[in-house]
Structure 1
Amino acid sequence: MKVRAVVPTADNSTNFNIAHESETVVGTTLDNLKAAVTGETGASAKYKAFAKIAREAGYDQIARQFEATSEAEQIHIAMETKLIQKVEPDFVRPEAPEMSGVETDLNLIAGALGEMYETSDMYPAFIAKAIEEGETEAVQAFTRAKLAEAVHAELYLDAYNNIDAPDDQAYYLCPVCGYIHKGDDFEKCPICFAQKSAFKKF
């Protein structure tokens, strides 16, 4: 993802359309925040399980990628939970479900499909509703998650295509928005502009 002159938003970007025949159930912004937390909790647990399978099969780089993405989803969960708790202080995050996986190549495809759904359907639908309701903080949280998920999907497909030709590059996780960069050739996050020095290396 290229760094733009300004932070990308729903107002200055053209890839925020909702998928035709959307599968997302849209409620109020509060409902949508809760749904996002539930979905991200499942995704984080799934990628943690996928990481274990990848490492056991000898795919160390892919295992690190799954671990980075699992942690990225935790960043999204924290952003969204914080907004829910402003309205419902007693809200408790759902417990992570038990997850399993199959072969690593198929787990990469499953990961890419899940991330593409979130970036092209779920989050655009939630963003539209938050804009309608004037929930600017939710718009920002959903936008950051949406943009990060697109990159996660891209990285999963790259790993799938190159599963038998791994390199030694690390993954770097932005602690603010959950963006992941492969390799050390960057200066800041293209989504939230956090500096490279703040990123976590996997």
Structure 2
Amino acid sequence: MALPNASNSSNFNVVPNPACQPGDTLANLKSAVMGETGASAKYAAYSKKAAEEGFGQIASLFAAASKAEQIHIAMESNLVRKAEPDYVNPEAPEAEVHSTDVNLIDAALGEIFETSDMYPQFIKIAQEAGDTAAEMVFTRAKLAEAYHAQRYIDAYNTIDHLTDEKYYVCPGCGYIHKGKGVGSCPICGAPESKFLEF
């Protein structure tokens, strides 16, 4: 089965009335790095809060997601540096932390925005510019964010019935799998042996 991309998949359309105002591909890469930097820091803070509240599995999920966003940051900032070698990644803003259930909803909403608004627009602009490297990076991030949203909603719905299942992060694209039996990554094809356990 072919790996998903904007040409062979049906979930790359932009939502009506999008909130994201994209620029050219370089500006979009920088915007993505900024957004993912904030998300990674926020999820690290949410992980700490979940642990404090006794939600160990959710703490692991947030830690896994923080790592996944770091993978996106690396992919995107590497492309920025090809155009601007002196580019320095931005600092993360301080995260506003709430109760774990609210943090899960906040996180899910952020991921839904990225997968249905921001990244589909960035992908279209990269395609129009013929920038296949940026298209691939944005595509992998977009697809991973949809899985992140799903993991957050699942954790929200089962917050009082958690298990000891682990989360596994693909180092190639930031996809997060819950439980054993990952197989190869459904987004980038990375083998199970490369996944990081949380």
Q: Do both share a fold (TM > 0.5)?
A: yes
Amino acid at match of 2:31: A
Residue in 2 that maps onto 1:194: 190
Tell me how far apart the structure 2 counterparts of residues 57 and 26 of structure 1 sit (CA, whole Å).
38
Residue 137 of structure 1: CA displacement?
Answer: 0.2
Alignment of 1:56 onto 2:40: no
- Code of the residue aligned with 1:140 in structure 2: it is M
* Whole-angstrom CA distance in 1 between matches of 2:21 and 2:31: 9
Deviation at 1:100, TM superposition (A): 2.7
CA deviation map 1:60-101 (0-9, x unaligned): 100000000001000000000000000000000001221131
Q: What residue in structure 1 maps to residue 150 of structure 2?
A: 154
Confirm whether residue 113 of structure 1 aligns to residue 109 of structure 2.
Answer: yes
Alignment match, 1:163: 159
- SS of 1:181's equivalent? strand
Structure 1 residue aligned with 2:79, among 83, 89, 110?
83
After the TM superposition, list the runs of 4 or more consecutive aligned residues in structure 1 that deviate by more than 3 angstroms.
none
1:35 aligned residue (10, 17, 31): 31
Q: d(CA) in 1 for partners of 2:196 and 2:93? A: 25
Is 1:8 matched with 2:4?
yes
Quick check: 1:108–1:159 contact (8 Å CA) kept in 2? Answer: yes
Any unmatched runs of 5+ in structure 1?
none
2:97 corresponds to which residue?
Answer: 101
Contact conserved, 1:22 with 1:121, CA < 8 A, in 2? Answer: yes
Classify the secondary structure of the residue corresponding to 2:172.
coil
Match of 1:47 in 2: 43
Cα distance in 2 between the residues matched to 1:14 and 1:123: 14
Percent identical: 59
Q: Normalising by the residue count of structure 2, what TM-score does the alignment of the two structures yield?
A: 0.99
- Counterpart CA distance in 1 for 2:165 and 2:93 is 31
The TM-score, its normalising length taken from structure 1, stands at 0.97
User: Please, which runs of 5 or more residues in structure 2 have no aligned partner?
Assistant: none
User: 2:117 & 2:77 partners in 1: Cα distance?
Assistant: 21
2:182 is equivalent to residue 183 of structure 1: no
3-state secondary structure, aligned to 2:168 = strand
